[in-house]
Structure 1
Amino acid sequence: MSLFSGRRARAAALLAAAVLVASGCAKSEDTAASPAPGGSEAQQQVVKTPSGPTGAGCTIAQQGAAKFDLKTAVVGFSQSEKEANPFRIAETQSIKDEAAELGIANLKVTNAQSQFSKQISDVQQLIAQGAQLLVIAPLNSDGWEPVLQQAAAKKVPIITIDRKINAKHCTDYLTFIGSDFVEQGKRAADQMIKALDGRGKVAILLGAPGNNVTTERTQGFKDQIAAKAPDIEITFEQTGEFAREKGQQVTEQLIQSNPDIDGIYAENDEMALGAVTALKGAGKKAGDIKIVSIDGTRGAVQGIVDGWIYGVVESNPRFGALAFETAQKFIDGESIPEKVIIADREYDESNAKDSLSQAY
């Protein structure tokens, strides 16, 4: 009997039906249908349908790894950041919940507490403890060479989730599972253009430096603004490090230095919520400054309901089902692509109230 049964059969069917994306060529109009409202299935990730060639994949034979049973294998999960962020809480819980449902008895979980050197040592320790599969949420995209060398020497497949590592597919890691971050930035720009009627001054609260999420969300937003709304001017950019407190501090500075700002693009919800606190402290009213962000946390969706946030592009953190389904396909000899891109929904005033239960 397959490891995946019951509700996992639906996840397997979704994954089998959708060709996994091996390049960033998928477009928003090519996504699978959004999950229906309500119930646990509404929270599951859906694989994006590619609009172009998927390229070469990677098999267990190519990696030279030995087959293993997920139920009895030592599986290591490395979380990168402190779990004060709802995204990280939901991400880790998804991995734990799925492992429990599948009967994976030897899941080892570490948390680097936002320290990259600790994450490297965490993963090295997981390898030393006999991990046969590694699922990593990387803090940074570079600097993984020591881990990759040790994992390759022991033929341990690596799945990265939500952030990429700069390394060679199949040789160094198996696959990346996550969102199209450039597309997220473009969709956030579309929301900002609508909020400002295509004209105004906008500030960007940048994410933490050193990873592809920040770079690509910034690129997508700027490219879309330049292409579609030349009368929108980006007048301020500063990192809020994906943290609520830092987002608040930067927004407080922004209000002082750019009192005529019309919109704020926050590259995650925590910074957006920090910005809301700063605006309230400055005596602003809901809607005075249009805020658009990315993630889909319950706090941010509530912010839409309350009028403080204009719109949110989801970045779904529930990686458990898809990560283990991908691992099982690899073990079974199927070819796994370099990227598995997921579809993300959007929240705005038209659906925020009804969608609160589906946010995390």
Structure 2
Amino acid sequence: MRQRSLAALTLAAVLAATTGCTVERHWGGNTNTGGSGKAKVGLVTKTDTNPYFVELRNSARAAAQANGADFSALAGQFDGDNDGQVRAIENLRQQGANTILITPSSSTGVLKAIKDARDAGVLVIALDTATEPPDAVDATFATDNFAAGEQQGAYVKAALKGVPAKLLMVDGTAGSSVDTQRHTGFLKGIGLTDGSPEIKGHTAANGDQSLAQQGMENLLQRSTDINAVYSMNEPMGRGAYAALKARGLTGQIVMGSIDGGCEGVQNVKDGQIAATVMQFPKKMAEQGVLAAVAYARTGKKPSGFVNTGSAVITDKPLPGIESHDSAWGLQNCWGGTK
């Protein structure tokens, strides 16, 4: 969701070259357990440039300011920088964090660092991306990505109006929990399995628009007899659309996506994507900070998975599919449009 106007917060931003992560603010102290009264919240995101993670950081910072908590944000240098995230966790512990919020680049690669932090009394909450196993953290505040994929698949199936799917799939990073959950949820929603003959091809694009365009171009060299496209996120949807447009195929395709960024909602409004499933990073960040404040004051920890919700955004509503139009989407999206 779009960040509202907030009182200015002065922060020092420096590049921590020796740790391989970006540091937003330092604060001292070694009280890193609950019940001390003062929340010291550290956030570790996958990167500090992706608009989605920028929204997470800005929302968490604003919530910390509003609730009297200290706040520090670090990030890997690139999506997949697992070592950078491990060092970021260690940095935050040294700074005295009593809660660490993390969007893990690898669902398994940060487990030891998380365990060490929890053993030291630090509350650890995963945002957006679950760990494997899920109970490696105290709690997860995130989109139910399987349900979001299922919503996307159900919409595409309904939009085909009984015509059998001829589907191309643009996946994210192979093996990541978010990619797997969205992929399998979509297939359930559209009524297919990985072995279904209706799937005419798939490509993994690691969330990257250029890779998605290249991958889609390669798939279209094999066959253009398709009527549906799954895109794991909106940047990859834009890449797929560019390849389809170059072939003059956009008029025959129903494409769905997931994210709910403002640019993605604009893509829906412009007709590039038939529907996207919006998620709400601001809710994840705010609820994570509130849990950190409660832990600092009372020692009580949250537990389990907390679904922060999702919503279908489309200007072509269909019977049986609950949705909002792009006007609503642009009022509630995150990030900005280009």
Give the alignment's TM-score, normalised by structure 1: 0.74
Per the alignment, residue 131 of structure 1 pairs with 97
Secondary structure (helix, strand or coil) at the match of 2:256 reads strand
CA 1:236/1:329 → structure 2, altered by over 3 Å: closer, same or farther? same
SS at match of 1:210: coil
| Gap change, CA 1:142 and 1:282, over 3 Å in 2 | same
Matching residue of 2:259: 295
What displacement does 1:225 show?
2.5
Cα separation, 2, equivalents of 1:154 and 1:207: 34
Q: How far has the Cα of 1:232 moved from its partner?
A: 8.2
Using the TM superposition, give the Cα deviation of residue 148 of structure 1 relative to its aligned residue in structure 2, in angstroms.
2.4
**1:23 alignment partner in structure 2:** none
3-state SS of 2:173 partner: coil
Distance 2:78 2:37 in 1: 30
Q: Secondary structure at the match of 1:92?
A: helix
Where do 5+ consecutive residues of structure 2 fail to align?
5-31, 318-324
The answer to whether the aligner puts 1:94 opposite 2:68 as a matched pair is no
Pick from 65, 68, 71 the counterpart of residue 36 of structure 2. 68
Give the residue type in structure 2 aligned to 1:184.
A
Q: Which amino acid aligns with 1:69?
A: G
Q: Which residue number in structure 2 is paired with residue 186 of structure 1? A: 150
> 8 Å contact 1:273–1:299 — kept in the other structure?
no
Q: Which residue of 2 aligns with 1:254?
A: 219
In structure 2, which of residues 241, 262, 285 is the aligned counterpart of residue 276 of structure 1? 241
**Match of residue 224 from structure 1:** 189
TM-aligned CA distance change 1:111 to 1:144, over 3 Å: closer
Q: CA RMSD in A?
A: 2.7
Cα distance in 2 for partners of 1:39, 1:140 equals: 27
How far apart in 2 are the matches of 1:225 and 1:91? Answer: 31
Aligned-pair identity (%): 24
Which residue is 1:22 aligned to? none
| 1:345 paired to 2:293 | no
Note the C-alpha offset of 1:97: 2.1
CA contact (8 A) 2:150 2:185 kept: yes
Aligned to 1:196: 160
The secondary structure found in structure 1 opposite 2:308 is: strand
Query: Residue by residue, what CA displacement relative to the aligned partner does 1:56-108 show, whole Å, maximum 9, x if unpaired?
Result: xxxxxxxx9441334xx43211011352x332222222122222332323424
**1:323 CA displacement:** 0.8
Q: 1:1-360 counterparts in 2 under 5 A? A: 65-70=33-38, 73-81=39-47, 83=49, 85-114=50-79, 115-167=81-133, 169=135, 172-198=136-162, 199-226=164-191, 233-285=198-250, 287-318=251-282, 319-331=284-296, 332-334=298-300, 336-349=302-315, 350=317, 351-360=325-334
Q: Does structure 2 retain, via aligned residues, the 8 Å contact 1:99–1:107?
A: no
For structure 1, the residue ranges without an aligned partner over 5 or more in a row are: 1-34, 41-63
Deviations 1:15-72 (A, max 9, x none): xxxxxxxxxxxxxxxxxxxx9xx996xxxxxxxxxxxxxxxxxxxxxxx9441334xx
**What CA distance in whole angstroms lies between the structure 1 residues aligned with 2:71 and 2:269?**
42
The Cα of 1:336 is off from its aligned counterpart by 2.1
**Residue 185 to residue 277, structure 1, CA distance change in 2 (3 Å):** same
Task: Judge conservation of contact 1:187–1:313 (CA < 8 Å) in 2.
Answer: yes
Deviation (angstroms), 1:196 = 1.4
TM-score (norm 2): 0.79
Cα distance between partner residues in 1 of 2:277 and 2:248: 27
User: How far did 1:265 drift?
Assistant: 0.6
- SS of structure 1 residue aligned to 2:126: strand
Residue identity in the other structure for 2:313: Y
**Residue type of the partner of 1:359?**
C
Structure 1 residue 204 displacement after superposition: 1.1
